[in-house]
Structure 1
Amino acid sequence: MATVIDPLSEVLRSVRLTGGIFLDAQFTTPWCVRTNILAEDCAGFLVKPALLIAYHFVIAGGLLLSVDEEPTIEVRAGEIVLLPRNDVHTLASTSGLAPTSARSLIQPSADGGLARVLYGGGGEATHIVCGFLGSEETYNPLIAALPRVLKLDITEGVSRDWVEASVRYAASELTTGKLASSGLMSRLSETLFVEAMRQYSVTLTGQAGGWLKGVADPQIGRALAAIHHNIRSPWSTDSLAREASMSRSAFVDRFTALIGMPPIRYLTNWRLQTAKRRLRETRKTIAQIAEEVGYGSDEAFSRAFKRELGSTPSKWRDQQSVDERPAKR
Structure 2
Amino acid sequence: MDSVSEILASLSLGSSAIGTISLCEPWSLRFVDAPTVASYTVASGRGCWLRYGDAKPQWLEPGATVLLTAGSDSVVLCSGDDMPPTDIGDLFRRVRLDHLRDMEPDRPVSLNWGGSGQSTVLLGLAFGMKSELRHRVLSALPELIMFRADDPHISPWTAASLRFLARECANALPGYTAMARAVAETVLLGAVRGYLITESSDRPGWVRGLGDYRIAKALAAMHKDPGHAWTVAGLAAHAGMSRTAFAVRFAAIVGSSPIDYLTEWRVDLARLRLNSGHCNISRLAESLGYTSETAFRRVFKRICGVPPSQFVSKGKQATADGQTS
* Shared fold (TM-score, shorter chain, > 0.5): yes
3-state SS of paired residue (1:324)? helix
- Letter of the 2:84 counterpart: A
The one-letter amino acid of 1:216's match is G
Q: Please, which moves more after superposition, 117-126 or 30-39?
A: 30-39
Q: For the structure 1 residues 243 and 71, does the alpha-carbon distance in structure 2 shift closer, same or farther, using more than 3 Å as the test? A: farther
Per-residue CA deviation, residues 19-50 of structure 1 (Å, 9 max, x unaligned), is: 523542111122112235556xxxxxxxxxxx
Q: How far off its partner does 1:304 sit?
A: 0.9
- Return closer, same or farther for 1:183/1:306 CA change in 2, 3 Å cut-off: same
What is the CA-CA distance between 1:60 and the residue it aligns to?
A: 0.6
> Retained in 2: the 8 A contact 1:114–1:176?
no
Amino acid at match of 2:61: R
Unaligned runs of 5+ in 1: 40-51
SS in 2 for 1:150: strand
Query: Could you say which residue in structure 1 is the equivalent of 2:41?
Result: 57
Per-residue displacement from partner, 1:175-196 (whole Å, max 9, x unpaired)? 9765644322332233223322
Separation of aligned partners in 2, 1:261 and 1:324: 33
Question: After alignment, is 5-14 or 286-295 more displaced?
Answer: 5-14
Q: Distance in 2 between matches of 1:215 and 1:108?
A: 43
Calculate percent identity across the aligned residue pairs: 29
Q: Is the 8 A contact 2:215 2:250 kept in 1?
A: yes
2:121 corresponds to 1:127: yes
Unaligned runs of 5+ in 2: 98-104
Q: Partner residue of 1:30?
A: 26
Alignment of 1:73-92 (within 5 A): 73-88=58-73, 89-92=75-78
3-state SS of paired residue (1:131): strand
Partners of 1:186 and 1:202 in 2: how far apart?
A: 24
| TM-score between both structures, scaled by the size of structure 2 | 0.84
Q: How does 1:38-57 map to 2 (within 5 A)?
A: 52-57=36-41
1:1-329 equivalences under 5 Å are 6-18=2-14, 20-36=16-32, 52-61=36-45, 62-88=47-73, 89-95=75-81, 97-106=83-92, 107-108=95-96, 113-139=107-133, 140-153=135-148, 155-157=150-152, 160-170=155-165, 173=168, 178=173, 180-205=175-200, 207=202, 209-326=204-321
Amino acid across the alignment from 1:292: S
Distance 1:311 1:53 in 2: 26
Q: Deviations over 1:192-217 (max 9, x none)?
A: 23322343345434746532221010
Question: Which letter does structure 1 place at the counterpart of 2:79?
Answer: S
TM-score when scaled to structure 1? 0.83
Post-superposition shift, 1:314? 1.4
Distance in 1, Cα, partners of 2:170 & 2:299: 47
- 1:174 and 1:302 map into 2 onto residues whose CA distance is 49
Question: CA separation of 1:262/1:315 partners in 2, compared to 1, >3 Å: closer, same or farther?
Answer: same
**Residues 186 and 311 (structure 1), Cα distance of their counterparts in 2 relative to 1, 3 Å cut:** same
Cα deviations across residues 136-184 of structure 1 (Å, max 9, x unaligned)?
4444443222122112246442774454123332366269765644322
1:74-111 Cα deviation digits (max 9, x unpaired):
322112210112324322011353112344444348x9
Indicate how the Cα distance of structure 1 residues 158 and 99 shifts in structure 2: closer, same or farther if over 3 A, else same. closer
Counterpart residue identity of residue 68, structure 1: G
In the superposition, relative to structure 1, how do residues 192 and 259 fare at CA in structure 2: closer, same or farther (>3 Å)? same
- 1:130, CA displacement in angstroms? 1.7
| Number of residue equivalences | 312
Q: Bigger shift: 86-95 or 238-247?
A: 86-95
Query: Conserved in 2, the CA contact under 8 Å of 1:66 and 1:73?
Result: yes
8 Å contact from structure 1 (residues 64, 95) kept in 2: no
